[in-house]
Structure 1
Amino acid sequence: MTTIVSCYYKTKINKHSHDKYDNWIRWLVLGLNKVNIVVYTQESDREYLTAIFEENKNIQYKIIVKELNDLAIVKKYPDIWVNQERIDPQQHISRRKECYIIWNSKFDFLKETIDSNPFDSEYFIWNDIGNVRDLNTARFLQGYPNKDKISRDKLDIILLRPFERKQDIFYTNEVHFSGSMFGGHKETLTTLHEKYYNIFDLYINSNKFIGCDQQLISTMYILNSSLFNTIIPKMGLIDVWFYLYYYYSN
């Protein structure tokens, strides 16, 4: 079986209200069927998440407590986050250093889960915990994910906007991929884990904004396009940001 990997950290500043996140989390967790899921969180959120997961007896789950300050990129780069807030090109929206840390830890969460592999899986999916935002999306969960639709030697990811200038290396406000969901075989994800954090280092050493992982994924694609299965979503079926629910469903 496949393992879904996600995280939840309630912070002081969020893009959406807790009530909205609560509804979205419940739609995801309670809609899943016969799947494994690992979720990283902080101690203050563990009991809240456990209560939700215990309502679904049709899944196997593991909740791992890891405080934000204990995440790898915080330990490696303890002093970059104030400057990252300062150079954020979208300071007007509700995102701060906690968001940057969480978004840039997705590949670390995946790698840690692959290494421990509590459910003995070959395939893994990163899945934002709050991206089932309507009943139309929720209807795809019963057959999600179909392991036979997951690529073995490439990263499956939704291409939202094509690249106009593939010679670019750094991206700031451009969004080409949905970082909300992506998946692949454990060997491919392990390879991309190393490449992602090499790119993270490159951005930091060049004093570039790293707060949004989607821009770093764009750079990773430009440098390693052969490792990507770019999926162009069909319009009108589902929110294109979350099209992988449709693509990976039965």
Structure 2
Amino acid sequence: MDLLRQHCSKNLPKNNNKLITTTLENKQITALLDIGRDRWNQYGRTIAQYHQFFRYLLQLRLPMVVFVDNKSWHFVHRERSRIGWGIKTKVKRISLSQLPFFSFKSKVTKIMREELNNWENEWNPSMRSHPEASHPEYSLLVNSKTFFLVEAAAENPFGTEFFVWLDAGYGHGDRSIFPPAWKWQPKFEKGIISLIKLTPPTDLINHYNLQSLYRQDISVISGGFLAGDRNSIIRLHQLYYKKFINLIEKQKIDDDQTMLVLLINEYPEFFHIYYGDWFDAFELF
């Protein structure tokens, strides 16, 4: 069995931490930047709706580094201080234009415009309205998750060894998916990136490539959760950045879910895949 199949066949029972080696404290990383979704005709969402979702995530009793713009700065400070975890929270103010990938906005805009005007027959027509195919700001933001992670790992204000990415809207406001009393003590393996695959083990990830995923309504990997130790986070960002540039050079742009599948296929030994649903992180780890 090759390395890819070895790692993709691991399906640990829920809450089974015996195979995980570390008990060090983890740090949660997340970000919320307004990209104008309240003005979208489809897949729109106001910043107030995001705050309703975000409020649940901010209740977690974990050290946090939170990247936000001006619209969420006071909200995050208030929510974390209210539960007595303000001292274990680093809120970093940032705008979309400060993200490294923002320098590619004109190229991404051009790619999307040309695609929409010359939609390929093999592409799913419904994808024309999906944000990863029609909104440059969205693609630039969701592809910046490893940047947020590596920034937090570099500064490491709370001296933690492991870093966990959770989308700001993780759980979509469903209290039942979060742990009791908001206490979560996940355990991860060192030297690899842990993530969640949405399709079953029989759906081998090496059957997917850029052509089979591009502009198709297929979800294989959840981009809402990523975890790894400091050195693994740094390596992930380097690989991700290189792959992003590679796609741009091919006149293509996609979201983080597609990017992660491509990286897993190239570096299977670097990823530990767990199987679950979109919001299963608190049960699996």
Short-chain TM bin: 0.7 to 0.9
Query: Structure 1 CA distance, aligned partners of 2:204 and 2:95?
Result: 36
Q: Secondary structure at the match of 1:4?
A: strand
Question: Once the 2 structures are TM-superposed, how far is the Cα of residue 21 of structure 1 from its aligned partner?
Answer: 1.7
Q: Secondary structure at the match of 1:177?
A: coil
Check if 1:221 corresponds to 2:264.
yes
More deviation, 117-126/129-138: 129-138
Larger Rg: 2
Which of 62, 80, 93 is the equivalent residue of 1:53?
80
Deviation sequence 1:193-222 (CA, Å, 0-9, x none): 111111101111111122x11001110000
Change (3 A) 1:58 1:45: closer
Moved over 6 A (4+): none
Q: Percent same amino acid among aligned pairs? A: 19
1:75-86 → structure 2 map (5 Å cutoff): 75=103, 77-86=104-113
Matched with 1:26 is 55
Q: Secondary structure at the match of 2:129?
A: coil
Query: Structure 2 CA distance, aligned partners of 1:44 and 1:195?
Result: 31
Check if 1:153 corresponds to 2:191.
yes
Q: Secondary structure at the match of 2:260?
A: helix
Query: Structure 1 CA distance, aligned partners of 2:205 and 2:84?
Result: 47
Q: Secondary structure at the match of 2:106?
A: coil
Counterpart amino acid of residue 51 in structure 1: R
Matched with 1:245 is 282
Counterpart amino acid of residue 188 in structure 2: I
1:1-250 → structure 2 map (5 Å cutoff): 1-13=25-37, 15=43, 16-30=45-59, 32-33=60-61, 35-58=62-85, 60-75=88-103, 77-86=104-113, 87=115, 90-93=127-130, 96-133=135-172, 134-139=174-179, 142-146=182-186, 149-161=187-199, 162-163=203-204, 166=207, 168-170=209-211, 171-172=213-214, 173=216, 174-210=218-254, 212-233=255-276, 240-248=277-285
Q: Secondary structure at the match of 1:198?
A: helix
Matched with 1:236 is none
Query: Structure 1 CA distance, aligned partners of 2:51 and 2:107?
Result: 31
Question: Once the 2 structures are TM-superposed, how far is the Cα of residue 154 of structure 1 from its aligned partner?
Answer: 1.4
Q: Secondary structure at the match of 1:208?
A: coil
| TM, length-normalised to structure 2 | 0.76
Q: Contact 1:155–1:184 (CA<8 Å) still a contact in 2?
A: yes
Q: Contact 2:108–2:253 (CA<8 Å) still a contact in 1?
A: no
Unaligned runs of 5+ in 2: 1-24, 117-123
Q: Contact 1:154–1:229 (CA<8 Å) still a contact in 2?
A: yes
Q: Secondary structure at the match of 1:69?
A: helix
Unaligned runs of 5+ in 1: 234-239
| TM, length-normalised to structure 1 | 0.86
Q: Contact 1:152–1:184 (CA<8 Å) still a contact in 2?
A: yes
Q: Highest relative contact order (Cα 8 Å, sep 6+), 1 or 2?
A: 2
Question: Once the 2 structures are TM-superposed, how far is the Cα of residue 53 of structure 1 from its aligned partner?
Answer: 2.2
Counterpart amino acid of residue 91 in structure 1: R
Q: CA RMSD in A?
A: 2.1
